[in-house]
Structure formats: structure tokens, C-alpha cells
């Protein structure tokens, strides 16, 4: 396949950016409900993914959530951009990207979620911990064991539940140790996870 001259490629990229910016400007003049309806009509494309990524920072929470859901629905088409956010972005946008990646459930995301367990945002850490259990990759066992010592209660709870889902016996003693320091709800979750691991379920 003949390669396009760089000038043409640059023009195409610029034109695509202009189209995305124009549509974003138009959408942001709409009421939140109308923006959500517009999101629902989007089809998988590079421009749609760029627009949805931008809408993860919309002023309306329902719009941000809808954009994340749509990115998850796009699956493979949005995977690379979402993982890029996990590597480079900061703040709440990472939380929505994490949600979308969790919904996609691609095994390639495991490394990104393991890294996200060290994120400064507790919400990202919590989503990552829960997602690792749902993805079912045993590479997550040791990082999740470490997350049992997280400073945030919600992260610890997500980690102990995910360890139960993964069912690996390496987690038995660390869960027992963490259970001794946990509150009533944590102890209940820890007992449930231990039962799942020990029964092989």
C-alpha cells in the first residue's frame, strides 16, 4: 500500500481535529439530556473516540458516565486511547477511563490496572482492584495482596473481594492477617473470600 505524503496525512489529521472540535462545541450548547442522546447515536470511529474522551471531562456527571459507557461499548476501537489516559492523564478522567476499561474486560488491560493500584486517586485504585478480580488474570494476585494494606478502606475491601474471585491460595494467609485489623464489614468480606478460595470456587 502506497504511503500518503506527510502533508496529506497532516491535513487529514487537522481536518479530523476541526470536525471533532466543531461537534464538541455544538454538543456543549445542548442540555445534558440532549448531549447524552447525541452520545448514544455515535458510531465507532477515531473521531467519535476523540469526542467521547473529551466528554469524560464534561461538566455533567451523567454525560461523563454516558461517554464512558459508550467508550466501553466501542471496545477495541477505544482501547488504545483509554490505556493512554491511564498512562498520562490525572484526576477524575482516569476514574471514568478505568470504568470503561473494566467494562471492556480485555486481558491486555491487566498491566494497566496493576499500575493503577499505585495511583494517587483512591477511586482509580478501587476500580482497578475490583477490575483485576473480574479480569481473572492471576498476575494480579501479588499486587492485590499488597493492596490489602492500602490507606483507603474501599480499596482494601475491593482487593479482598477480588482475591476471593481469583481463588489463588497465595492470598489465604495475607487475607487472614488483614482480617484481624479490619472492621465488621471487612471481616465479612474476608471470610467470604477465604471460603471461596478454600472451596476452590
Interval 91-127: pLDDT, tens: 788 889 888 988 888 888 899 899 999 999 998 899 8
Interval 54-64: pLDDT, tens: 999 999 999 99
User: For residues 5 and 198, which has the higher predicted lDDT (pLDDT)?
Assistant: 198
Q: What pLDDT was estimated at residue 18?
A: 60
Residue 29 predicted with pLDDT over 90: no
What percentage of the chain exceeds 90 in pLDDT? 65
Residue 7 predicted with pLDDT over 50: no
Reference 95, options 63, 71, 127; nearest CA is 127
Outline which parts of the chain fall under CATH 1.25.10.10.
107-201
The b/e string for 129-141 (b: 16+ C-beta within 10 A; e otherwise) is bbbbbebebeebb
The CATH fold of domain 10-104: 1.25.10
- Find out whether 132 and 111 touch, Cβ atoms under 8 Å: no
| Assigned CATH for 107-201 | 1.25.10.10
Q: CA–CA separation, 158 vs 99, rounded Å? A: 14
Residue 13 predicted with pLDDT over 60: no
Please give the average per-residue pLDDT across 14-26, as a whole number. 67
Q: CA–CA separation, 178 vs 37, rounded Å? A: 45
- pLDDT category of residue 190 using cuts at 50, 70 and 90: very high
User: For residues 22 and 179, which has the higher predicted lDDT (pLDDT)?
Assistant: 179
Q: What pLDDT was estimated at residue 17?
A: 56
Please give the average per-residue pLDDT across 145-153, as a whole number. 97
Q: What pLDDT was estimated at residue 201?
A: 58
Q: Which of 30-39, 162-171, 183-192 has the lowest mean pLDDT?
A: 30-39
Please give the average per-residue pLDDT across 28-40, as a whole number. 90
Amino acid at each position: 500500500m502506497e504511503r500518503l505524503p506527510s502533508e496529506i496525512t497532516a491535513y487529514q489529521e487537522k481536518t479530523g481535529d476541526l470536525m471533532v472540535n466543531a461537534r464538541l462545541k455544538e454538543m456543549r450548547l445542548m442540555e445534558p439530556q440532549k448531549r447524552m442522546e447525541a452520545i448514544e447515536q455515535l458510531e465507532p470511529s477515531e473521531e467519535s473516540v476523540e469526542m467521547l474522551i473529551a466528554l469524560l471531562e464534561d461538566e455533567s456527571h451523567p454525560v461523563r458516565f454516558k461517554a464512558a459507557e459508550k467508550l466501553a461499548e466501542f471496545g477495541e476501537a477505544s482501547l488504545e486511547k483509554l490505556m493512554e489516559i491511564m498512562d498520562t492523564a490525572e484526576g477524575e478522567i482516569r476514574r471514568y477511563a478505568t470504568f470503561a476499561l473494566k467494562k471492556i474486560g480485555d486481558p491486555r488491560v491487566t498491566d494497566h490496572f496493576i499500575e493503577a493500584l499505585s495511583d494517587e486517586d483512591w477511586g482509580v485504585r478501587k476500580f482497578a482492584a475490583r477490575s483485576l478480580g473480574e479480569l481473572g488474570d492471576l498476575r494480579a494476585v501479588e499486587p492485590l495482596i499488597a493492596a490489602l494494606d492500602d490507606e483507603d478502606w474501599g480499596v482494601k475491601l475491593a482487593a479482598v473481594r477480588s482475591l476471593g474471585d481469583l481463588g489463588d491460595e497465595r492470598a489465604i494467609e495475607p487475607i487472614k492477617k488483614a482480617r484481624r485489623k479490619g472492621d465488621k464489614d471487612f471481616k465479612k468480606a474476608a471470610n467470604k473470600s477465604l471460603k471461596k478460595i478454600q472451596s476452590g470456587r
